[in-house]
């Protein structure tokens, strides 16, 4: 049972991390390595709000808003100029943005490791096991975010517009959709989700300006495996989360990180398009 | 002595004088920084070969550098189980051997990774980048887990070779740098350099000209990894330090920035970029560490977004023109346009069926293609004409039925990749012109004339010998006066002409032309028709897909009508014209 809970939490954490990345890749064809910097920005903003005396919920909301603003600036200054450019160009530029964000954070807040107090202390007893309550809360948040996003994409006019732009941008522009605005909003949404994820995961980790970087490789691989749909993101998170938890169970956790990367690389060799292969 | 050779010697001499003078201008510390910068510059040149020239995004180039440095460290230190360096140093021989070994191990590791990442059936072109990112990320934790070998968290240190003083090391590394730079310049100006630029521009087209794209990419990647390993090994021997970050993604991206800032695909630019940035970096890093890192991040963004060609690119390109140059020109080679002779039936297709997924396109094709005959395939859109050519030229398409070739070695074309089929003389012109963006018209023809022969990595072919018919095509379509223009800037009509010229230059046995005259004027088309007839007289077989019935009537020996994945009628043009089946295919059957 403990194993299943661990699996749930690891999957949820990964899902939170890759959600923003996946939205930006799926809708904009941009692999956004600025994600690492945005997650760090999110968690440090939450720290800042918390130190000013706000509650954790308010801190997360504040952090989300702040990273949305940072995302808007990045979109205007950098991302907008990269449409149609080769994938290695966008990777380099967005990684540069990450470096700028990380350095700015260590400049302002210092390089020393810090911690965010766990907002829901204590445990919850689930089927006879005392499990940290906040980690279970993360699972609920991840599930809620995925369901909300899925509902928006499927049932609203906004979702329809976004799907149109995603499928055929030229045609969408032809029928009067402001595709530049759609891309801009997409990037801002992705950035905001990155900030929210950074703030939410923060209390479970030791924090430093490099905080988001450790997630980068597995997250990057997970979105490539996921392909371009929400179900794929969930499936990729479960797959890599399960690998992580199982290897940690039987071996050194350091090897688990390595095994996750190896598994992901092998999967991408066998199914280059990830879980969207059926649609190809 | 030509002006170019004189410039080459002058610029080379100036470079050597500048490099030789540095130790006398600065203090010992500066000289050490320059020595280190040379090893980085070697790595940058190797990355430019892989990424800039061949277009392979290696996001883990630091791994090869780290392998080189670690090899030297392992050979010259003794480590306790907990990763403490107990003893270090060795003779000059040990160090030389270790550097050579590091180079070889890095090259082999690079070859294995590339072999895995470039499967012959083709994968996601960005997959190698994913593997690089994964390697550079995964090696770091592994490195710290093996302290008994790698020194763990602290790495290995203190194993710098003591037999040379600062100035001695400076000249060794400077010499290695100049040698690598010159070697790389020779490579990229050679015919092999042309091939890798072509692969970067349009992999698929290069493959259908007979080039084994995967093998070429694996070779370049292994050479690049080997040179980076050499750079790392030198770095190890000079600095005497290797630890996990040397393998890491951060360092890999720094290398990418050296190349991007200096100017991709210029060789000289990335070397300058590496030297300048590492010198500026170590100066500023001492006084303003945070600001320097911030500036580095801003530089990443600024270069990629605003100056994608690189800051030093205009200068590096000018330099390359001065010393590399050697414009390529076309010369006619007498004799027939094909080397083929022998039996008449070249290809026999019997009941060939093929589907894209659930879409059945070919539903049982029976067709004979004969030497010295021009077969026109006509039919409405969606009849399967282009698919027929695709199936003929790519043996890995899984078809039902029989395709028998009579091209000398090997009768069956099952599972033969496109480049092998092309080497047997089945040359194809794509329906939509597919050219190489940065190659000149003459270079396109040189590549076609090679037809997949492994090009020389040293020699630069300046006079390109092509069949006379190629020059006729070039003359007729107006390409002859545009031999220096790049494929990316040609107007559509010239692209069509160049496609035809390339197909002829490859000395085909069987020429497959998919709508060659679309976009050409009537007079150009007439000349093309005449040239096709002379090729037929030389013994080439031609298959032509065409919608223009006047043109078909002028050139065709035989016409096959394709409808709904089947050959519904074959015969002379006159016979086809009066056939009821053809009328039904185009206009629909009368009720």
Q: What pLDDT, on the 0 to 100 scale, is given for residue B338?
A: 64
Residues in chain B within 8 Å Cβ distance of A258: 138, 141-142
Question: Which structural domains are found in chain B, ordered by start?
Answer: 3-323 (1.10.3470), 372-393+425-587 (3.40.50.300)
Q: What pLDDT, on the 0 to 100 scale, is given for residue A280?
A: 33
pLDDT of residue B204 exceeding 70 = yes
**Record: contact B293-A99, CB cut-off 8 A:** yes
Interval B543-591: pLDDT, tens: 988 888 888 888 888 888 888 888 888 888 888 777 777 777 777 766 5
In a domain? residue A234: no
Over range B2-29, report the average pLDDT. Answer: 80
**Record: contact B300-A261, CB cut-off 8 A:** no
**Record: contact A97-B301, CB cut-off 8 A:** yes
A54 close contact with B: CB closer than 8 A: no
**Residue A9 phi, psi dihedral angles, 5° rounding:** -70, -45
Q: Which residues of B141-175 are buried (b: 16+ CB within 10 A; e: fewer)?
A: bebbeebeebbbeebbbebbbeebebeebbbbbbe
**Which CA distances in Å does B343 have to A242, B111, B403, B406?**
62, 42, 16, 8
d(CA A236, CA A201): 19
**Record: contact B304-A92, CB cut-off 8 A:** yes
Please tell me the distance in Å from B264's CA to the nearest CA on chain A. 12
Q: B354 with B389: CB under 8 angstroms? A: no
Please tell me the distance in Å from B260's CA to the nearest CA on chain A. 9
- Annotate B251-293 with DSSP letters as a single string: HHHHHHHHHHHH-TT-SHHHHHHHHHHHHHHHHHHHH-HHHHH
Please tell me the distance in Å from A71's CA to the nearest CA on chain B. 15
Residues in chain A within 8 Å Cβ distance of B138: 217, 257-258, 261-262
Q: What pLDDT, on the 0 to 100 scale, is given for residue B180?
A: 95
Grouping H, G, I as helix, E, B as strand and the rest as coil, residue A190 is helix
Element (H, E) at B25: helix B3-25
**Residue in A closest to B129 by C-alpha:** A88
The tokens for A234 are 């969930």
Mean pLDDT (chain B) is: 84
Residue B137 has its nearest CB partner, among A96, A104, A217, at A217
Report the first-to-last Cα separation within chain B, whole angstroms.
80
All residues at 6 or more sequence positions from A214 whose CB lies less than 8 Å from its CB, including other chains: none
Tell me the average confidence (pLDDT) per consecutive run of 10 residues in chain A, 280 residues long.
82 88 82 89 88 84 93 90 82 88 86 77 75 84 89 86 82 86 89 91 82 83 82 86 85 83 85 58
A78 close contact with B: CB closer than 8 A: yes
Over range B206-227, report the average pLDDT. Answer: 92
The domain total for chain A is 1
pLDDT band at B408 (very low <50, low <70, confident <90, very high): low
Residues of B with CB under 8 A from a CB of A: 51, 57, 59, 116-117, 119, 123-124, 126-127, 129-131, 133-134, 137-138, 141-142, 144-145, 249, 253, 256-257, 260, 290, 293-294, 296-301, 304-306, 308
d(CA B1, CA B10): 12
In a domain? residue A22: yes
In a domain? residue A220: no
In a domain? residue A263: no
Angle, helix B92-117 to helix B61-76, in steps of 10 degrees: 150
Q: Which residue has the higher pLDDT, B320 or B467?
A: B467
pLDDT band at B369 (very low <50, low <70, confident <90, very high): confident
**Which CA distances in Å does A234 have to A124, A150, A151, A168, A198?**
25, 11, 15, 25, 18
Q: Residue B567's beta-bridge partner residues?
A: B562
**Record: contact B301-A96, CB cut-off 8 A:** yes
**Record: contact B145-A269, CB cut-off 8 A:** no
Residue A81 has its nearest CB partner, among B119, B131, B305, at B305
Interval B34-43: pLDDT, tens: 999 999 999 9
**Residue in B closest to A83 by C-alpha:** B305
Residues in chain A within 8 Å Cβ distance of B297: 96-100, 102-103
List the helix and strand counts (H, then E) for chain B: 23, 15
Residue range(s) defining the domain that contains residue A180? 14-211
Q: What pLDDT, on the 0 to 100 scale, is given for residue B420?
A: 83
In a domain? residue A20: yes
| Closest to A103 (Cα-Cα) out of B295, B218, B147, B24 | B295
Over range B276-298, report the average pLDDT. Answer: 81
Pairs across A and B, CB distance < 8 A: 106
Interval B291-330: pLDDT, tens: 777 887 888 888 888 888 888 777 777 776 666 666 777 7
In a domain? residue A227: no
Residues in chain B within 8 Å Cβ distance of A267: none
d(CA B349, CA B370): 12
Give the CA count within 13 Å in the CB-facing half-sphere of B264: 20
pLDDT band at B411 (very low <50, low <70, confident <90, very high): low
Element (H, E) at B346: strand B345-356
Residue A269 has its nearest CB partner, among B127, B145, B253, at B127
pLDDT band at B529 (very low <50, low <70, confident <90, very high): confident
Please tell me the distance in Å from A56's CA to the nearest CA on chain B. 30
A191 close contact with B: CB closer than 8 A: no
| Closest to A28 (Cα-Cα) out of A189, A156, A213 | A189
**Record: contact A93-B126, CB cut-off 8 A:** no
Residues in chain B within 8 Å Cβ distance of A100: 294, 297-298, 301
Interval B128-144: pLDDT, tens: 888 898 899 888 888 88
| Chain B contact probe: residue of A70, A94, A217, A260 with most B CBs at under 10 A | A217
Give the CA count within 13 Å in the CB-facing half-sphere of A97: 28
Please tell me the distance in Å from B300's CA to the nearest CA on chain A. 5
A257 close contact with B: CB closer than 8 A: yes
Residue B145 has its nearest CB partner, among A220, A254, A265, at A254
Q: Which residues of A55-93 are buried (b: 16+ CB within 10 A; e: fewer)?
A: ebeebbbbbbebbbebbbebbeebbebbeebeebbbbbb
Q: Which of A172-176, B47-51, B415-419, B539-543 has the highest mean pLDDT?
A: B47-51
Over range B379-400, report the average pLDDT. Answer: 83
> Any idea how long chain B is?
591
Over range B196-202, report the average pLDDT. Answer: 90
> Beta B359-370 vs B541-545: how paired, if at all?
unpaired
> Beta A123-126 vs A129-132: how paired, if at all?
antiparallel
In a domain? residue A63: yes
pLDDT of residue B363 exceeding 80 = yes
Extract the runs of DSSP E, i.e. beta strands, from chain A.
Answer: 123-126, 129-132
Q: Which residue has the higher pLDDT, B399 or B232?
A: B232
**Record: contact A261-B298, CB cut-off 8 A:** no
**Which CA distances in Å does B255 have to A11, A188, B283, B288, B313?**
34, 30, 18, 21, 16
A93 close contact with B: CB closer than 8 A: yes
d(CA B406, CA B340): 11
Residue B293 has its nearest CB partner, among A92, A103, A268, at A103
In a domain? residue A88: yes
**Residue in B closest to A252 by C-alpha:** B145
Q: Which residue has the higher pLDDT, B40 or B445?
A: B40
Interval B144-194: pLDDT, tens: 888 878 888 888 888 888 878 888 899 999 999 999 998 998 898 888 999
Indicate the Cα dihedral angle B160, B163, B165, B171, nearest 10°. -90
**Record: contact B141-A82, CB cut-off 8 A:** no
Looking at this predicted complex, what is its ipTM?
0.87
């Amino acid at each position: 049972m403990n194993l299943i809970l661990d699996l749930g939490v690891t999957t949820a954490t990964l899902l939170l991390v890759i959600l923003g990345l996946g939205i930006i890749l799926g809708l904009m064809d941009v692999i956004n390595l600025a994600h690492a910097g945005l997650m760090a920005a999110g968690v440090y903003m939450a720290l800042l709000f918390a130190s000013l005396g706000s509650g954790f919920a308010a801190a997360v909301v504040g952090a989300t808003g702040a990273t949305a603003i940072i995302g808007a600036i990045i979109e205007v200054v950098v991302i907008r100029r990269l449409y149609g450019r080769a994938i290695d160009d966008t990777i380099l530029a967005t990684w540069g943005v990450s470096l700028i964000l990380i350095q700015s954070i260590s400049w302002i807040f210092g390089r020393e490791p810090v911690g965010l107090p766990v907002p829901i202390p204590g445990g919850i007893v689930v089927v006879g096991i005392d499990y940290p309550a906040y980690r279970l809360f993360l699972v609920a948040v991840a599930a809620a975010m995925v369901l909300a996003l899925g509902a928006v994409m499927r049932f609203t006019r906004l979702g329809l517009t976004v799907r149109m732009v995603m499928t055929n941008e030229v045609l969408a522009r032809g029928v009067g959709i402001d595709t530049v605005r759609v891309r801009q909003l997409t990037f801002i949404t992705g950035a905001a989700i990155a900030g929210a994820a950074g703030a939410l995961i923060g209390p479970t980790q030791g924090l430093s300006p490099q905080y988001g970087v450790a997630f980068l490789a597995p997250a990057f691989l997970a979105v490539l495996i996921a392909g371009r749909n929400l179900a794929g993101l969930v499936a990729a998170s479960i797959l890599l989360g399960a690998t992580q938890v199982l290897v940690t169970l039987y071996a050194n956790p350091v090897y688990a990180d390595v095994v996750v990367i190896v598994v992901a690389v092998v999967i991408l060799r066998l199914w280059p398009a990830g879980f969207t292969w059926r649609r190809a | 002595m030509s002006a170019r050779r004189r410039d080459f010697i002058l610029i080379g001499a100036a470079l050597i004088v500048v490099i030789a003078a540095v130790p006398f201008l600065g203090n010992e510390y500066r000289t050490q920084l320059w020595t280190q910068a040379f090893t980085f510059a070697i790595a940058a040149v190797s990355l430019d070969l892989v990424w800039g020239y061949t277009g392979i995004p290696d996001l883990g180039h630091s791994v090869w550098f780290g392998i080189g440095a670690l090899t030297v460290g392992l050979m010259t230190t003794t480590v306790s189980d907990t990763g403490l360096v107990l003893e270090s140093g060795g003779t000059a021989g040990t160090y030389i051997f270790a550097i050579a070994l590091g180079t070889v191990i890095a090259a082999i590791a690079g070859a294995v990774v590339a072999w895995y990442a470039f499967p012959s059936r083709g994968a996601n072109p960005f997959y190698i980048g994913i593997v690089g990112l994964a390697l550079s990320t995964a090696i770091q934790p592994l490195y710290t887990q093996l302290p008994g070998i790698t020194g763990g968290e602290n790495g290995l240190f203190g194993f710098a070779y003591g037999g040379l003083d600062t100035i001695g090391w400076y000249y060794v590394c400077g010499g290695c740098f100049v040698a690598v730079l010159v070697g790389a310049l020779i490579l990229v100006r050679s015919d092999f350099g042309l091939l890798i630029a072509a692969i970067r521009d349009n992999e698929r087209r290069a493959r259908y000209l007979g080039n084994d794209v995967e093998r070429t990419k694996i070779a370049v990647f292994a050479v690049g990894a080997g040179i980076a390993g050499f750079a790392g090994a030198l770095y190890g021997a000079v600095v005497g330090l290797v630890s996990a970050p040397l393998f890491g993604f951060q360092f890999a991206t720094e290398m990418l920035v050296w190349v991007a800032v200096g100017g991709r695909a210029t060789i000289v630019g990335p070397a300058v970029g590496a030297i300048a940035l590492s010198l500026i970096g170590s100066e500023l890093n001492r006084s303003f560490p945070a600001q320097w890192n911030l500036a580095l991040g801003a530089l990443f963004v600024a270069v990629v977004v605003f100056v994608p060609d690189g800051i030093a690119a205009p200068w590096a390109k000018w330099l390359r023109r001065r010393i590399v140059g050697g414009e390529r020109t076309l010369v006619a080679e007498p004799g027939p346009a094909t080397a083929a002779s022998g039996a008449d039936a070249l290809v026999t297709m019997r009941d060939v069926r093929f589907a894209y997924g659930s879409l059945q396109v070919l539903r049982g094709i029976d067709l004979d293609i004969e030497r010295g005959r021009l077969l026109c395939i006509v039919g409405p859109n969606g009849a399967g004409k282009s698919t027929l050519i695709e199936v003929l030229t790519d043996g890995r398409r899984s078809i039902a039925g029989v395709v028998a070739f009579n091209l000398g070695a090997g009768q069956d074309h099952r599972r033969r990749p496109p480049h092998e089929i092309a080497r047997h003389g089945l040359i194809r012109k794509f329906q939509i012109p597919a050219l190489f963006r940065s190659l000149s018209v003459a270079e396109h023809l040189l590549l076609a004339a090679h037809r997949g022969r492994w090009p020389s990595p040293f020699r630069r072919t300046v006079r390109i010998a092509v069949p006379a018919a190629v020059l006729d095509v070039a003359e007729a379509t107006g390409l002859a006066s545009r031999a220096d223009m790049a494929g990316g800037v040609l107007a559509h009509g010239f692209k069509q002409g160049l496609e035809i010229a390339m197909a002829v230059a490859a000395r085909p046995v069987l020429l497959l032309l998919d709508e060659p005259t679309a976009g050409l004027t009537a007079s150009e088309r007439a000349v093309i028709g005449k040239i096709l007839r002379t090729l037929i007289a030389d013994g080439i077989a031609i298959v032509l897909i065409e919608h223009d019935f006047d043109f078909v009537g002028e050139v065709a020996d035989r016409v096959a009508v394709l409808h709904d994945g089947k050959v519904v009628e074959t015969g002379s043009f006159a016979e086809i014209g009066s056939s009821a089946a053809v009328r039904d295919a185009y206009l629909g059957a009368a009720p």
